């Protein structure tokens, strides 16, 4: 809920075109839900993004391996890369991103 | 230095069906937003009956009837593959909600819990024979009110209902008119945490036959806050729980760190034990009503029953090294440091691989890891995944990164070193500690060699920091069994023996003292007498008179903890409690008493002897001794006065004579068979009995079996001096040394003082003493009374028929009264000059 408020504030302050959302969710369904919230609006109708179609570009951190410095990746993410279902998470997030043509 | 050991662990669950809807926050918030929300009705419909909760496999794992390994073999969903619904388990029990409600009443010190009459009567009827409940508990349950009175309280909006099977069976009143931290819902939550924790601790003490008075310290580790509006988390659940469990010698405090609280508690307990500050520390936590039905919205959506319908509780005893129980390694504690950061990688390194590296181990050297042991059937439908599984994968992945295992071994590592989760999602309850009972057992049986317990907590929930938290520790077999270096227990007590005065010469006494030393490595025996007579350390004394002076000085300075001697003049009021071996059965029996006088009047003395005998029995580890009265002059009067004392709430476990219809009055036959633990008699008869039973096989010239006349005990008497007959042989002297050491270890004078207080035998006030008005719960403080006048000030109020207690507040002495009396009490205290205007 609070994250939705913060995203809304950032968009209002900087404009849609200047905001990119990077997710760190550990699970595909939850990541998909977050991606849907910042693109099509909150599907649970519970937060401030209910009915708000922000259509923000959204990525999971696993999709951004190429632009993260190698040592940071090694320190912060490489372990979870082994643990989590990376393909499934990327597939979910991509689905929502592609719906907005991003 | 001693190693802290895991001596015992208990785990209890409480079916909290009705509380899911009334006091789980998910549904409380839902009701506040929309009182007609369909979710409320859906949850109500989807709640499970007690039988299904007891038959739910993860719950049977929690109380120890099924192992985590066996759970993994049961096909999921477990709620459709039920097992035998057993209430009792190896580690604990599952209680139905009505029993928890009864315990909330018993645990209530401020008359906040009101039970309906019929319900209270039914509960008293059911629980009176239950081993975890006492007669005092039944007396508390007897105080109930009518349903009309309860409904009237509820209609005022200052109380919340206690419901069982959709019926109101009582209520909980607010503890203050305006204080939000004492409102009825908060008291409900805190009393549920206190009651559930207290039952787990009672179970631990009962199941493992631990004397409650042996507990030195209690650490409570739940996630609740006890306090008022000026000190929201003031505490102290630990002492409140200890009080309900009879832990009279314990102090305690609360430790908090969200879900990591219990693991911090265990590490703190280990520190206290290892340093020698305390010998026995209990870590305890009750359940959280707030978390009931936390994920019920998702469970309903996914057509899963509302599985978050139980409160969890546990109690774990950490004790000084006994050479047997598994140890906790204090050189390999893992901790999440403030500078660690919060990436999963950093957290897992700090908690798992860092401490292992320090101990020269790798992740494969640990047989089992106990992490957040949440039941996946609860968390997966809620989108939180299989929490233990995710944790095991992280440990394995870190192992791959550090080269301890191959990437291809990742999955097999998880299967081999992991466990299926079974704990209810009660925050602190699943966090690492649920496996300690299984780990202790597995290590004792040689099936496990090393277990790591990891507790983690989400500190950001309190919005004070974004930090994460966690601690971990290793459990291993006690090396006391296999290596010689740690076998020798520390010398815990020193006992003196005076050498002069025996009818069989000094040599017989020396033999007895040396025999005691060779038999008991944990006792230091010191001889008091002529130099050069023994290999034991000797403090020189060449006459009986000198021996007495030396003994008194050594006791006073603490150089010896207790002393065995042939003759000593105790003050009036002090008498000795003898210990004999019944010749017909070999059963040990205490004779109360054998020398000295506990009171001038014969029956008054026998009455007091019974209480003193009970105290000595407790010092020997007999928590509820059987008491019989020898059929001597005054026996019946003594029995009557003791039965009167029982009516005032002092409970006595009466023995039954082996003779027909004999009841608690013991005949000569019973003295031979040892028909009771404490045989009450006048001291002259007791003296004769000890002599006869100790010299039965020698024809009388030398006493060859038993423990002598025992330690002198009485009100205000703080030394431990054990008397033996001048005709004692070496075995009796050795027995007396052992007896004296046991008394010193158990801090007998403190036990005696407590027992006398319980039996209302502490010196009574003179005849014109002020009568106390009937007790009421007091929570209002009046400060400003001089500490020297505090008792007097309370009595002055009693004279005015105002109930008051003298107490110690944070800033000085206080007089405690009820809110109704405070104004009048203040005025009176000013009038009498105890406080200033």
B90 domain-assigned: yes
B372 with B412, same domain: the answer is: yes
Please report which helix (H) or strand (E) contains residue B602, including its range: helix B602-619
Cβ contact, residue pair B348, A75, below 8 Å: no
Which candidate from B346, B383, B394 shows the least CB-CB separation from A83? B394
Per-residue burial over B86-120, b if 16 or more Cβ lie within 10 Å, else e, is eeebebbbbbbbbbbbbbbbbbbeeebbbbbbebb
> Which has the closest alpha carbon to A55: A6, A5, A14, A17?
A17
Chain A residues in contact with B343 (beta carbon < 8 A): 75-77
Cβ contact, residue pair B394, A26, below 8 Å: no
B509 domain-assigned: no
pLDDT tens-digit profile of A10-40?
A: 999 999 899 999 999 888 888 999 999 999 9
Residue linked to tokens 């459990």: B475
B825 domain-assigned: yes
In Å, what is the CA distance from A95 to each residue of A38, A66, B66, B493, B557?
Answer: 13, 20, 44, 74, 82
Distance, CA of B304 to chain centre: 38
B310 with B185, same domain: the answer is: yes
Q: Give residues with Cβ within 8 angstroms of B729, minimum separation 6.
A: B504, B508, B512, B698, B702, B703, B704
The answer to whether residue A30 neighbours chain B at the CB level (below 8 Å) is yes
The answer to whether residue B400 neighbours chain A at the CB level (below 8 Å) is yes
* Catalytic annotation present for B810: yes
Cβ contact, residue pair A27, B348, below 8 Å: no
Among B449, B481, B513, identify where a domain stops: B481
How far is A49 from A16, CA to CA, in rounded Å?
14
Q: Is A35 exposed, middle or buried (0-12, 13-18, 19+ CB in 10 A)?
A: buried
Report the CATH number that the domain containing residue B361 is assigned in CATH. Answer: 3.40.47.40
B785 with B680, same domain: the answer is: no
Report the CATH number that the domain containing residue B713 is assigned in CATH. Answer: 3.40.50
B154 domain-assigned: no
Which candidate from A27, A30, A78 shows the least CB-CB separation from B401? A78
How far is B720 from B713, CA to CA, in rounded Å?
8
B438 with B378, same domain: the answer is: yes
B799 with B754, same domain: the answer is: no
> HSE-up of B507 (CA within 13 Å, CB side)?
1
Chain B residues in contact with A79 (beta carbon < 8 A): 344-345, 348, 394, 397-398, 401
Q: Give residues with Cβ within 8 angstroms of A18, minimum separation 6.
A: none
- Cβ neighbours of B236 (radius 10 Å): 16
Among B451, B466, B481, identify where a domain stops: B481
B590 domain-assigned: yes
B799 with B713, same domain: the answer is: no
B751 with B790, same domain: the answer is: no
Chain A residues in contact with B344 (beta carbon < 8 A): 79-80, 83
Which candidate from A26, A27, A75 shows the least CB-CB separation from B345? A75
A44: closest CA of chain B, how far (Å): 12
The answer to whether residue B301 neighbours chain A at the CB level (below 8 Å) is no
Cβ contact, residue pair B385, A27, below 8 Å: yes
Chain A residues in contact with B346 (beta carbon < 8 A): 75-76
The answer to whether residue A61 neighbours chain B at the CB level (below 8 Å) is no
Marked catalytic residue, from B12, B247, B270, B810: B810
pLDDT tens-digit profile of B469-498?
A: 999 999 999 987 444 333 344 557 999 999
pLDDT tens-digit profile of B4-15?
A: 999 999 999 999
B808 with B754, same domain: the answer is: no
How many CB pairs (< 8 A) connect A and B? Answer: 39
- B630 forms bridges with which residues in the sheet? B666
Cβ contact, residue pair B343, A76, below 8 Å: yes
The answer to whether residue B40 neighbours chain A at the CB level (below 8 Å) is no
Cβ contact, residue pair B407, A79, below 8 Å: no
The answer to whether residue A77 neighbours chain B at the CB level (below 8 Å) is yes
The answer to whether residue B783 neighbours chain A at the CB level (below 8 Å) is no
Residue of B29, B33, B302, B345 best to disrupt the A interface, most CBs of A under 10 A: B345
The answer to whether residue A67 neighbours chain B at the CB level (below 8 Å) is no
Among B432, B466, B481, identify where a domain stops: B481
B638 domain-assigned: yes
Cβ contact, residue pair B345, A79, below 8 Å: yes
The answer to whether residue A78 neighbours chain B at the CB level (below 8 Å) is yes
pLDDT tens-digit profile of B60-70?
A: 999 999 999 99
Residues 304-343 of chain B with CB under 8 A from chain A are 343
**Cα dihedral B316→B322→B324→B326 (10° resolution):** 40
Cβ contact, residue pair B345, A76, below 8 Å: yes
The answer to whether residue A82 neighbours chain B at the CB level (below 8 Å) is yes
| pLDDT score, position B488 | 40
How far is B751 from B612, CA to CA, in rounded Å?
9
The answer to whether residue B345 neighbours chain A at the CB level (below 8 Å) is yes
The answer to whether residue A64 neighbours chain B at the CB level (below 8 Å) is no
> Which has the closest alpha carbon to B108: B244, B276, B297?
B244
The answer to whether residue B297 neighbours chain A at the CB level (below 8 Å) is no
Which candidate from A29, A76, A80 shows the least CB-CB separation from B383? A29
- B453 forms bridges with which residues in the sheet? B370, B473
Cβ contact, residue pair A79, B385, below 8 Å: no
| pLDDT score, position B601 | 86
The answer to whether residue B394 neighbours chain A at the CB level (below 8 Å) is yes
Chain B residues in contact with A30 (beta carbon < 8 A): 383
B793 with B649, same domain: the answer is: no
Q: Give residues with Cβ within 8 angstroms of B746, minimum separation 6.
A: B214, B618, B619, B620, B621
Count of domains forming chain B: 3
> B803 is in which domain, residue-wise?
780-831
From the CA atom positions of chain A, what is the Rg in Å? Answer: 14
Chain B residues in contact with A27 (beta carbon < 8 A): 383, 385
- B497 forms bridges with which residues in the sheet? B527, B564
The answer to whether residue A26 neighbours chain B at the CB level (below 8 Å) is yes
Cβ contact, residue pair B345, A83, below 8 Å: no
B258 domain-assigned: yes
How far is A37 from B206, CA to CA, in rounded Å?
54
Chain A residues in contact with B390 (beta carbon < 8 A): 26, 83
> Which has the closest alpha carbon to B478: B635, B263, B326, B639?
B326
B714: three-class secondary structure by DSSP: coil
| pLDDT score, position B521 | 83
E-assigned strand segments in B148-265: 159-164, 167-173, 217-220, 251-254
Cβ contact, residue pair A79, B397, below 8 Å: yes
Please report which helix (H) or strand (E) contains residue A9, including its range: helix A2-14
Report the CATH number that the domain containing residue B802 is assigned in CATH. Answer: 3.30.70.1530
Cβ contact, residue pair B393, A83, below 8 Å: yes
How far is B343 from B351, CA to CA, in rounded Å?
12
B146: three-class secondary structure by DSSP: coil
| pLDDT score, position B486 | 38
B795 with B694, same domain: the answer is: no
- Cβ neighbours of B760 (radius 10 Å): 12
> Which has the closest alpha carbon to B411: A32, A29, A83?
A83
Cis peptide bond upstream of B385, omega within 30:
no
ipTM of predicted complex: 0.75
| pLDDT score, position B769 | 62
B9: closest CA of chain A, how far (Å): 33
Q: Are B590 and B628 in contact (CB under 8 A)?
A: no
Taking CA–CA distances from A77, the nearest residue in chain B reads B345
B800 with B752, same domain: the answer is: no
A45: closest CA of chain B, how far (Å): 14
Q: Give residues with Cβ within 8 angstroms of B73, minimum separation 6.
A: none
The answer to whether residue B34 neighbours chain A at the CB level (below 8 Å) is no
Which candidate from A75, A76, A79 shows the least CB-CB separation from B394? A79
B48: closest CA of chain A, how far (Å): 27
B708 with B785, same domain: the answer is: no
Taking CA–CA distances from B384, the nearest residue in chain A reads A27
Q: Give residues with Cβ within 8 angstroms of B262, minimum separation 6.
A: B221, B283, B285, B314, B428, B429, B431, B432, B433, B455
B490 domain-assigned: no
Query: What residue ranges of chain B have pLDDT lower than 50?
Result: 481-489, 765, 767
Q: How many helices (H) and strands (E) does chain A have?
A: 5, 2
């Amino acid at each position: 809920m609070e994250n939705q408020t913060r995203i809304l504030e950032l968009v209002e302050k900087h404009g849609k075109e200047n905001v990119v959302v990077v997710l760190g969710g550990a699970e595909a369904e939850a990541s998909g839900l977050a991606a849907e919230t910042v693109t099509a609006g909150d599907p649970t109708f519970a937060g401030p993004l209910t009915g708000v179609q922000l259509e923000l570009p959204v990525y999971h951190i696993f999709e951004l391996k190429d632009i993260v410095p190698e040592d940071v990746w090694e320190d912060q993410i490489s372990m979870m890369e082994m643990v989590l279902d990376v393909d499934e998470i990327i597939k979910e997030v991509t689905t929502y991103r592609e719906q907005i043509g991003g | 230095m001693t190693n802290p050991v895991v001596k015992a662990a208990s785990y209890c669950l409480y079916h909290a069906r009705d509380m899911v809807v009334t006091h789980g926050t998910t549904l409380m918030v839902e009701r506040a937003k929309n009182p007609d929300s369909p979710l409320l009705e859906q949850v109500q419909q989807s709640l499970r009956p007690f039988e299904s909760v007891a038959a739910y496999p993860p719950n049977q794992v929690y109380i120890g009837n099924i192992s985590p390994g066996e759970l993994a073999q049961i096909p999921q969903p477990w709620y459709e593959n039920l097992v035998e619904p057993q209430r009792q388990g190896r580690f604990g029990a599952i209680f139905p909600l009505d029993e928890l409600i009864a315990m909330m009443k018993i645990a209530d010190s401020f008359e906040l819990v009101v039970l309906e009459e019929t319900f209270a009567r039914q509960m008293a009827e059911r629980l009176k024979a239950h081993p975890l409940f006492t007669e005092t508990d039944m007396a508390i349950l007897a105080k109930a009110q009518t349903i009309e009175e309860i409904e009237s309280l509820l209609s005022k909006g200052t109380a919340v209902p206690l419901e069982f099977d959709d019926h109101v069976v009582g209520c909980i009143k607010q503890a203050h008119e305006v204080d939000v931290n004492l409102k009825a819902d908060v008291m409900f939550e805190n009393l549920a945490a206190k009651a559930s924790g207290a039952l787990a601790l009672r179970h631990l003490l009962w199941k493992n036959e631990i004397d409650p008075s042996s507990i030195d310290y209690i650490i409570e580790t739940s996630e609740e806050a006890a306090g008022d509006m000026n000190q929201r988390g003031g505490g102290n659940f630990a002492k409140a729980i200890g009080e309900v469990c009879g832990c009279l010698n314990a102090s305690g405090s609360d430790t908090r760190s969200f879900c990591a609280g219990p693991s911090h508690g265990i590490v703190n307990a280990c520190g206290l034990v290892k340093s020698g500050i305390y010998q026995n520390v209990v870590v305890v936590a009750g359940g959280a009503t707030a978390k009931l039905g936390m994920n019920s919205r998702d469970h309903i959506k996914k057509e899963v029953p509302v599985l978050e319908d139980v409160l969890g509780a546990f109690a774990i005893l950490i004790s000084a090294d006994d050479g047997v129980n598994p140890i906790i390694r204090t050189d390999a504690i893992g901790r999440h440091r403030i500078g660690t950061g919060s990436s999963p990688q950093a957290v897992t390194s700090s908690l798992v691989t860092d401490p292992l590296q320090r101990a020269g181990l790798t992740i494969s050297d640990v047989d089992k890891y106990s992490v957040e042991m949440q039941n996946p059937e609860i968390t997966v439908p809620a989108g939180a995944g299989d929490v233990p599984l995710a944790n095991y994968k992280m440990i394995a992945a870190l192992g791959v990164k550090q080269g301890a295992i191959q990437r291809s071994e990742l999955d097999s590592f998880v299967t081999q070193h992991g466990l299926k989760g079974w704990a209810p999602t009660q925050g602190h309850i699943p966090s690492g500690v649920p496996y300690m009972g299984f780990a202790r057992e597995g290590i004792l049986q040689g099936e496990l060699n090393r277990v790591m317990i990891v507790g983690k907590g989400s500190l950001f929930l309190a919005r004070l920091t974004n930090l994460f938290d966690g601690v971990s520790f290793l459990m291993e077999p006690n090396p006391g069994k296999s290596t010689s270096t740690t076998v020798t227990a520390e010398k815990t007590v020193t006992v003196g023996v005076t050498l002069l005065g025996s009818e069989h010469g000094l040599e017989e006494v020396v033999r007895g003292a040396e025999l005691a030393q060779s038999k008991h490595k944990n006792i230091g025996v010191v001889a008091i007498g002529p130099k050069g007579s023994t290999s034991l350390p000797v403090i020189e004394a060449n006459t009986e008179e000198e021996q007495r002076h030396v003994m008194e000085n050594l006791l006073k300075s603490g150089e010896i903890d207790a002393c065995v001697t042939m003759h000593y003049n105790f003050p009036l009021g002090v008498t000795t409690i003898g210990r004999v071996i019944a010749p017909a059965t070999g059963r040990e029996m205490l004779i109360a008493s054998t020398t000295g006088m506990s009171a001038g009047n014969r029956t008054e003395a026998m009455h007091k002897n019974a209480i003193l005998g009970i105290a000595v029995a407790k010092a020997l580890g007999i928590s509820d001794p059987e008491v019989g009265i020898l059929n001597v002059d005054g026996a019946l009067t003594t029995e009557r006065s003791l039965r009167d004392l029982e009516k005032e709430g002092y409970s006595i476990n009466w023995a039954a004579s082996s003779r027909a219809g004999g009841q608690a009055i013991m005949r000569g036959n019973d003295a031979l068979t040892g028909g009771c633990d404490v045989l009450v008699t006048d001291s002259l008869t007791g003296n004769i009995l000890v002599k006869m039973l100790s010299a039965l096989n020698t024809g009388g010239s030398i006493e060859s079996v038993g423990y002598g006349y025992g330690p002198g005990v009485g009100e205000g008497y703080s030394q431990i001096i054990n008397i033996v007959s001048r005709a004692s042989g070496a075995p009796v002297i050795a027995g007396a040394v052992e007896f004296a050491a046991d008394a010193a270890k158990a801090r007998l004078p403190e036990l005696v003082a407590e027992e006398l207080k319980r039996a209302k035998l502490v010196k009574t006030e003179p005849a014109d003493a002020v009568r106390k008005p009937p007790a009421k719960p007091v929570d209002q403080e009046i400060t400003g009374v001089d500490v020297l006048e505090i008792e007097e000030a309370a009595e002055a109020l009693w004279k005015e028929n105002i109930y008051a207690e003298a107490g110690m507040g944070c800033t000085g002495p206080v007089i405690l009264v009820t809110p109704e009396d405070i104004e009048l009490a203040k005025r009176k205290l000013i009038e009498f000059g105890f406080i200033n205007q």
